[in-house]
Amino acid sequence: MSASRISVTTDPVAQAAIDWWVKLQSGEGGADTVDACSRWREADSRHDAAWMRLEGFAHAVRDIPSDFAHAHLVGTSAAGVDKTARGRQRRALLKGMAGVAVLAGSGMAAHEWTPWQRWVADYSTSVGERRRVMLAADIQMDLASDTAVSSALRNGQRQLTLLRGQMGISVQHADGSIPLLVNVGESHVEAVNARFSLLRQSSGMRLDIYEGSLRVDTLEAGARLLSAGTALYRQQGAWHEGPAQQNGAAWIEGLLVANDDRLSVVVAQLARYRRGVLSVSPEIEGLSVSGVFPLDDTDRALDMLAHALPITIKRWGGWWTRIDSVEPRPSQGSA
């Protein structure tokens, strides 16, 4: 049951590339920063390779310049938020702050801070942590934030159970080997040579296949064989097939890739990687965002959003963060 190696997935070269990327995207530096980044890339081929991987993510996002990713606003402008909307924002904020006290004594808080899945798991991550586990020599398992996985060997077969969160798997068995079995609730995935990700959510699981093929068995839909480029997910009580989210595995590199996504969706993904409450005003949650953002530093990711969008980030200690629209400055009256 033990892994041959467990390590935090923080490649120093990849992390340095992300740091340069964030500096350029957030507007922290000017021409000197661009020149310094170029010198860093030229200093080592590994540096340039890490940068090119980042650019690969950016090129997959619509409306992103080739030099660096950015977030942009589509449709609604700050000028369109009137006084009535701002009043609703303030009331929503007050309600949310009052709800913190309720949440602190509720079962939701107990689930957040002492999830039972971590007690029974063989491998787990806390909120904001990512880990890589090598199971023998042919199975690589990546765990996203707040994830729990149990592992067992039964009759020579490696069996994993995703109890909570999100995992990425790369398995390279020799032909004729016993397939890896991954359980998610009442669904089962078998793989011999494949790369895929699994997300456990309240509606069921979501499976995205990037390489190879898998045999998937679900209670309602039975067994089926799925190939690379395919996704399987449960929605409104039924199973659906669709295209795999190719950028959906960017979290393994410590990145969140948004491609014309709603601000509320981006915020929800960032919230998985930080403790406390992160909320967005209903008036701006439909704004469209495209860009590449760091998951291992969500405060910087939020600052990048604020740099590109007409929004404000309001923080109260380390436990409450609110994203609101920019309030227009009051006009100055004559003396």
Asked whether the predicted pLDDT for residue 74 surpasses 60, the reply is no
One domain for residues 214 and 319: no
The rounded distance, in Å, linking the Cα atoms of 62 and 127 is 30
Which residue's entry shows tokens 């934030």?
Answer: 145
Q: Is residue 70 part of a domain?
A: no
Which of 250, 271, 287 delimits the end of a domain? 250
Q: Is residue 143 part of a domain?
A: yes
**Alpha carbon of residue 232 to chain centroid:** 18
pLDDT of residue 308: 82
* Mean of per-residue pLDDT scores for the chain: 76
One domain for residues 197 and 212: yes
pLDDT of residue 111: 37
pLDDT of residue 222: 82
One domain for residues 169 and 219: yes
Q: Is residue 147 part of a domain?
A: yes
Q: Is residue 331 part of a domain?
A: no
Bigger pLDDT: 92 vs 299: 299
Q: pLDDT by residue (tens digit) across 219-273?
A: 777 889 999 999 999 887 888 999 998 788 889 989 999 888 899 999 999 999 9
CB 100 within 8 A of CB 93: no
Checking DSSP bridges between strand 187-191 and strand 157-164, what pairing results, if any? unpaired
Domain of residue 87, CATH code: 3.55.50.30
One domain for residues 174 and 282: no
Checking DSSP bridges between strand 222-227 and strand 193-201, what pairing results, if any? unpaired
One domain for residues 142 and 155: yes
Query: Domains in the chain: how many in total?
Result: 3
Q: Is residue 220 part of a domain?
A: yes
Q: What is the mean pLDDT of residues 31-59?
A: 79
Domain of residue 140, CATH code: 2.60.120.1440
Which pair of structure tokens corresponds to residue 283?
A: 């008036």
Q: pLDDT by residue (tens digit) across 132-182?
A: 999 877 899 999 999 999 999 888 889 999 999 999 999 988 777 889 999
Q: pLDDT by residue (tens digit) across 84-104?
A: 444 444 334 333 333 333 333
Q: Is residue 314 part of a domain?
A: yes
Residues 6+ apart with CB under 8 A from 2: none
Q: For the whole prediction, is pTM greater than 0.95?
A: no
Domain interval for residue 37? 10-59
Choice among 93-97, 126-130, 274-278 with the minimum mean pLDDT: 93-97
Which of 250, 277, 292 delimits the end of a domain? 250
Asked whether the predicted pLDDT for residue 7 surpasses 70, the reply is no
One domain for residues 266 and 203: no
pLDDT of residue 6: 32
Q: Is residue 144 part of a domain?
A: yes
Q: Is residue 103 part of a domain?
A: yes
**Over the chain, what HEC string results?**
CCCCEEEECCCHHHHHHHHHHHHHHHCCCCHHHHHHHHHHHHHCHHHHHHHHHHHHHHHCCCCCCCCCCCCCCCCCCHHHCCHHHHHHHHHHHHHHHHHHHHHHCCHHHHHHHCCHHHHHCCEECCCCCCEEEEECCCEEEEECCCCEEEEEEECCEEEEEEEECEEEEEEECCCCCCCEEEEECCEEEEECEEEEEEEEECCEEEEEEEEEEEEEEECCCEEEEEECCEEEEEECCEEEEEECCHHHHHHHHCEEEEEEEEHHHHHHHHHCCCCCEEEECCCCCCCEEEEEEECCCHHHHHHHHHHHCCEEEEEECCCEEEEEECCCCCCCCCC
CB 306 within 8 A of CB 71: no
**Dihedral Cα 190, 145, 130, 172, nearest 10 deg:** 10
Nearest to 250 by CA among 38, 45, 59, 28: 59
Residues 6+ apart with CB under 8 A from 197: 166, 167, 168, 169, 207, 208, 210, 248, 249
One domain for residues 145 and 194: yes
The rounded distance, in Å, linking the Cα atoms of 291 and 69 is 5
Q: What's the first-to-final CA gap in the chain, in angstroms? A: 77
pLDDT of residue 215: 94
